[in-house]
């Protein structure tokens, strides 16, 4: 699979390079500024912020919404204390735009599977993009796009990645709150299985033989699918230390064919390490 060339960005003195989450130092009586940016995506993750109906007014009471096109016409120039970035990089234009946003942001947080793993449009990473264009468009010569849809971290340094397709509202509030208060967000990296155990949800794979990506998928959605009698389909991407090959073997025992296993691992987080290798190994073309 082609990987985008990583570009290093020189950051201004206002945004010193550090992997750790830094405390935002608000100026005297000035609220920290928040900017929300969109790349290739469905809009659902930034909408999650507006969907925090009970908390929205409190959140915006604590920050200055400096740039959030979906919500406001007001635009304040950077630099920004915190940037939330939704979407993946799929065009030359966007590949340049993200560099500028990084320069302008003290803390940059990516939100959602598109931004953290390339998203569903990352399926083109496994195909010939020219075939895609020819297959769909009447006038292929109008189309201009990169060969890949890659996560933001492949282009710039990212301070925190919030997973999900879409992200969870509660986790989003936790990340904003933690960031503004200079602590590391309390976001678990364990698997969906832990959530099932915590919630007392009966294992759909053991009890019903329903294929479930839960054992290799990061928790955080709120244990949605297994508690709806459905196998997890991997919205939150690979958990820490996933053993996808072992799970794939179990899927074989449950009667899934190679193509089905490949597609199961190849969806909203298809390009993420931990899922990608499995789908490539089960690709019939190889």
Q: How far is the CB of 15 from another protein (least distance, A)?
A: 23
For another protein, the closer of residues 183 and 208 by Cβ is 208
Task: For the CB of residue 146, give the shortest distance to another protein in the complex, in Å.
Answer: 9
**Residue 202: closest CA among 172, 173, 225:** 225
In degrees to the nearest 10, what's the CA dihedral of 246, 149, 67, 9? 90
Of 136 and 207, the one with the shorter C-beta distance to another protein is: 136
Smallest separation, CB 268 to another protein (Å):
7
Q: How far is the CB of 43 from another protein (least distance, A)?
A: 4
Helix (H, G, I), strand (E, B) or coil at 231: coil
Binding residues for another protein (CB under 8 A): 38-45, 47-48, 50-51, 53-54, 56-57, 60, 65, 69-75, 90-91, 93-94, 119-121, 123-124, 127, 129, 131-133, 135-139, 142-145, 149, 165-166, 168, 221-222, 224-225, 227-230, 233, 235, 260, 263, 267-268
Nearer of residues 127 and 241 to another protein, judged by Cβ: 127
248 Cα distance to chain centroid: 23
Output the smallest distance, CB 16 to another protein, in A: 29
Specify the residue, 11 or 83, whose C-beta has the smaller distance to another protein. 83
Question: Which residues pair with residue 110 across a beta bridge?
Answer: 85, 161
Q: Is 82 or 159 the residue whose CB approaches another protein more closely?
A: 82
Q: 């329903």: which residue's tokens?
A: 210
Q: CB within 8 A of 122, min separation 6: which ones?
A: 88, 114, 148, 149, 150, 270, 271
Query: Which regions of 114-243 does DSSP assign to beta strands (E)?
Result: 160-162
| Side-by-side strand order, sheet with 160-162 | 64-68, 33-38, 80-86, 105-111, 160-162
């Amino acid at each position: 699979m082609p990987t985008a060339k990583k570009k290093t960005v020189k950051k201004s003195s206002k945004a010193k390079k550090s992997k750790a989450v830094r405390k935002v130092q608000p100026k005297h009586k000035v609220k920290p500024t928040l900017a929300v940016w969109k790349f290739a995506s469905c809009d659902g993750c930034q909408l999650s912020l507006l969907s925090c109906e009970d908390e929205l007014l409190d959140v915006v009471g604590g920050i200055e919404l400096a740039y959030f096109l979906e919500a406001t016409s007001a635009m304040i120039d950077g630099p920004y204390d915190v940037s939330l970035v939704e979407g993946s990089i799929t065009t030359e234009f966007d590949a340049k735009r993200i560099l500028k946003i990084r320069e302008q942001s003290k803390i940059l947080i990516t939100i959602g599977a598109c931004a953290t793993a390339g998203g569903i449009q990352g399926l083109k990473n496994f195909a010939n993009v020219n075939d895609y264009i020819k297959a769909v468009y009447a006038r292929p010569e109008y189309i201009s796009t990169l060969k890949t849809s890659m996560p933001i971290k492949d282009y710039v340094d990212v301070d925190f990645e919030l997973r999900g397709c879409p992200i969870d509202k509660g986790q989003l509030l936790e990340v904003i709150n933690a960031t503004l208060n200079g602590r590391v967000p309390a976001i678990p990296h364990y698997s969906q299985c832990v959530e099932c155990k915590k919630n007392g949800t009966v294992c759909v794979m053991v009890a019903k033989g329903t294929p479930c990506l839960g054992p290799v998928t990061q928790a955080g959605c709120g244990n949605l699918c297994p508690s709806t009698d459905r196998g997890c389909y991997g919205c939150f991407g690979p958990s820490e230390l996933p053993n996808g090959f072992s799970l794939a073997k179990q899927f074989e025992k449950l009667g899934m064919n190679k193509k089905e296993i490949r597609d199961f691992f190849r969806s909203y987080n298809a390009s993420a390490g931990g899922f990608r290798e499995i789908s490539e190994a089960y690709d019939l073309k190889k």
